């Protein structure tokens, strides 16, 4: 499966049944953390694929190791379940940690959890 097929399938899964409320590619791109233009390019057959570690990390936070598999990249961790952060550069480690925090924050908001003050 190429990246175009994979990301399009992820969009369809994320969108779910569209009865009553169509979820747009713009909303999906915000969910992932990329611009709508980037997402549209990814979803175009023969379009671009992510190569920057920062962008790959955003996808990994949501979809896990599967991202590396579909991109044909070697997974940087030493187990099937987790990334060994000590093998990443300090910058990549910080970006991944921030992306995970952002994902959790968005997930909590989407599922009705409120932030305590």
Better-predicted residue by pLDDT, 96 or 45? 45
Average pLDDT over residues 71-87: 68
Q: Note the pLDDT of residue 111.
A: 65
Q: Note the pLDDT of residue 9.
A: 94
Percentage of the chain lying above the pLDDT 70 cut = 82
Domain range annotation of the chain: 1-49, 52-117
Distances, alpha carbon 105 to alpha carbons 30, 44, 47, 88, 98, in Å: 13, 30, 30, 23, 10
Task: Tell me the pLDDT of the chain averaged across its residues.
Answer: 82
Q: Note the pLDDT of residue 19.
A: 67
Helices (H), the chain: 3-15, 25-32, 36-42, 53-63, 66-71, 90-110
The pLDDT tens digits for 11-28 are: 999 888 766 677 899 999
In degrees rounded to 5, what are phi and psi of residue 109?
-60, -45
């Amino acid at each position: 499966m190429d990246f175009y097929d994979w990301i399009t399938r992820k969009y369809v899964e994320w969108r779910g049944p569209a009865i009553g409320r169509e979820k747009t590619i713009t909303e999906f791109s915000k969910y992932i953390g990329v611009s709508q233009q980037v997402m549209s390019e990814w979803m175009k057959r023969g379009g671009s694929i992510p190569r920057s570690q920062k962008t790959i990390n955003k996808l990994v936070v949501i979809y896990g190791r599967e991202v590396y598999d579909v991109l044909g990249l070697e997974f940087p961790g030493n187990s099937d379940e987790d990334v060994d952060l000590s093998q990443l550069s300090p910058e990549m480690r910080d970006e991944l940690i921030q992306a995970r925090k952002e994902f959790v924050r968005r997930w909590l908001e989407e599922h009705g959890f409120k932030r305590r003050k």
